[in-house]
Structure 1
């Protein structure tokens, strides 16, 4: 498994941890900066330090100014370029510089990496990128990409230029040179994905769109058995299936978590409606449990009236930070909301070692549930008795948690190694 990304961020690190946790140990990570610029080719550690805008190299006597949230480069009174800062913008670290002509038309864009180097320049004509030049740490051109014919020319000191027809050919040569032999490629980068242009060579591509729906990607209209889209939420998978011809699978996150939550007596529910199956009965029958009910929107009167109970806490328009806190804090997740699942809640509850129970008419992500966790909607008494036994008996609680973890790990492993089928 080879993980290619723009930069190794939190999302990418979570996926790599997932692969390691399900037993996939041979996982190689390649950042785009290494793929095109050879930044790490000398095997030394570069210090991450963004470029401060005042240190951009310009011709003598030109001036650089900060202008509100952006910056600019001037030759006397003529603006030559616009400077765009990385977040947080108040630090004024350079993200890119867009060079403009007398008609205020962008003809070249320079990009700066986390090491403070200009690593890429795009040549623009008529609003379209016609070529890209990638630089090494010394400012020398390393790779030239022609976007029209999709060719890559590799340059280097002491060698003749070598051209590759298509990104797949270039990538194959790069991996061979670095003695990396693996056909399974995982991507989170739209830019890297689009470089393939539907030609994957001998590679098998898994693309993770990072919790968003994007209908602009040309790749999603390609039918190819070597390409699949992995989404962490069920509604994402369904959207891609309806809007593309690609193979789409569910991505299940799994992390080793041995924290025992037995005895906390706190239940979590997330909903976008006021239709919660048997919620009033549960609140009344389990006064020892605190029920945390969260909504993605403002709550209706039907839910706000539940606040009269001493064991109920309501969270309308819940924030991401509060969701995270409650997943970590609570020991029970009740999947009893009608309509769609929010925030990949069932998977999040599982990786936080929460006991999960549902009714057959409310259950989401059903493949994640052991059979014992789902109850007939006409049999509330059975659900009540089971919940009572679990929260009062540590052994039973642990047995349920272990079954949940085992089922999740099996599903996650299938996705990671590409062994998916229609049942997932």
Structure 2
């Protein structure tokens, strides 16, 4: 049994950790490899490129090899390469971006068009290059082994691939055939797969041509119709996939209704499971709230400071702070952290009782999810909400109703049971699931494989 995931994103990580927590510690294969996959994740591309040198590290933005006298300039979001004022390349960072580690470099021609893109991995190696035509359309993607030799060439126009492996050259009509070859060559137990997408993972399941029973774990919205490939599962017209598990209760109920309308599928084909979130136990007994922002646009911060003298507010930024924020430093219940360190962020996540998602512009450091993982009560204005998945409806306020947020904080500060109740509401909102639920739903299927 394996997990076959389309991407390494938050949803797939939550699923993988939930399965592991419930005792289903299967190998996980990720089909989209950006070069920064965790070591425990398998990749078809890495398999054929060879073992990396674990002593190497990712390149810092100014370590990119460039011709003599060319300049590299960057900030916390991106960087560029210039020669006598002309931009020669744009550098894009791996997440988290504040570390300024190179992931992708767009090299430009004399007309400023993208000529090719180099992709670097977490070991500082250029493991892939994408060539573009004169109309800036991707044409060929080449993967290089750890010795710098061509390992795999993917024609992005025809979707055909050629692989150099163990002294032979293999040709594949498309990515699906290539991935099927990899799964068999890598020696995985393919008697069952848990897939999380109706795109490439489903197509691999459909074409694998081996006996087995697969499960689709659906992590996307359900709208007015059942997706076409999912209909094949319910109709029994795909050879391996038989069951659909939906992570969101609302989408699960919507899908139930659609199946009833179409008189399709059976009740034992559709199931619901949320996630087992690894919530850290809090170490806090004071009324402290945290805001992480790279913008000085923090909604109603001054009003909160004035109205809640018994609360202490911590505001951190990865960069220098503007005069607007620094001008609030006279409030005794405010501590500002320009250029905040990662150690201090972790300390505040453990200390603070509440996270206030009240800053405009982009979220930094995946702050809301990290606050959730640290069992902070997340409160937000609807106008500044960054990740609604973790913020319960009861904890969202209109910015015109700052008095409502103030009253809520005041009550939580006075009565610990209200904070506990708020955490319970928050966990119910995200669909926190028990180990027993995973074992019950998966029992008799892939559970014992």
TM-score (structure 1 length as normaliser)? 0.55
Equivalences for residues 284-323 of structure 1 within 5 A = 295-298=394-397
User: Which is higher, the Rg of structure 1 or of structure 2?
Assistant: 1
Counterpart position of 2:29: 30
| Bigger Cα displacement from structure 2, 197-206 vs 107-116 | 197-206
Q: Which runs of 5+ in 2 are unaligned?
A: 34-42, 282-376, 381-391
Q: Which runs of 5+ in 1 are unaligned?
A: 260-268, 273-292, 316-321, 328-332, 336-340, 352-404, 420-424
Counterpart position of 2:149: 140
1:376-409: CA deviation from partner (whole Å, max 9, x where unpaired): xxxxxxxxxxxxxxxxxxxxxxxxxxxxx65563
The answer (yes or no) to whether the contact 1:81–1:100 under 8 Å persists in 2 is yes
2:272 alignment partner, one of 250, 275, 296: 250
Equivalences for residues 23-102 of structure 1 within 5 A = 24=24, 27-32=26-31, 34-38=43-47, 41-42=50-51, 46-47=54-55, 49-66=57-74, 69-102=77-110
The answer (yes or no) to whether the contact 2:5–2:201 under 8 Å persists in 1 is no
Q: CA RMSD in A?
A: 5.1
Question: How much has 1:154 moved relative to structure 2?
Answer: 0.6
The answer (yes or no) to whether the contact 2:76–2:97 under 8 Å persists in 1 is no
Equivalences for residues 180-219 of structure 1 within 5 A = 180-187=188-195, 193=201, 196=203, 200-202=207-209, 206=215, 213=221
| Bigger Cα displacement from structure 2, 7-16 vs 27-36 | 7-16
The answer (yes or no) to whether the contact 1:232–1:251 under 8 Å persists in 2 is yes
1:25-83: CA deviation from partner (whole Å, max 9, x where unpaired): 5x2233555411337844x7724722112222234443322267321123443222111
TM-score (structure 2 length as normaliser)? 0.52
Question: How much has 1:234 moved relative to structure 2?
Answer: 1.3
Distance 1:270 1:76 in 2: 49
2:429 alignment partner, one of 342, 347, 352: 342
Distance 2:131 2:206 in 1: 24
SS of 1:114's equivalent in the other structure is coil
1:329-362: CA deviation from partner (whole Å, max 9, x where unpaired): xxxx799xxxxx7221xxx1x53xxxxxxxxxxx
Question: How much has 1:11 moved relative to structure 2?
Answer: 5.6
1:299-353: CA deviation from partner (whole Å, max 9, x where unpaired): 99999699599868657xxxxxx99x935xxxxx799xxxxx7221xxx1x53xx
Counterpart position of 1:150: 159
Distance 1:239 1:89 in 2: 37
| Bigger Cα displacement from structure 2, 222-231 vs 27-36 | 222-231
Distance 1:65 1:302 in 2: 45
SS of 1:161's equivalent in the other structure is strand
Distance 1:326 1:96 in 2: 39
Distance 1:413 1:106 in 2: 51
The alignment covers a number of residue pairs equal to: 308
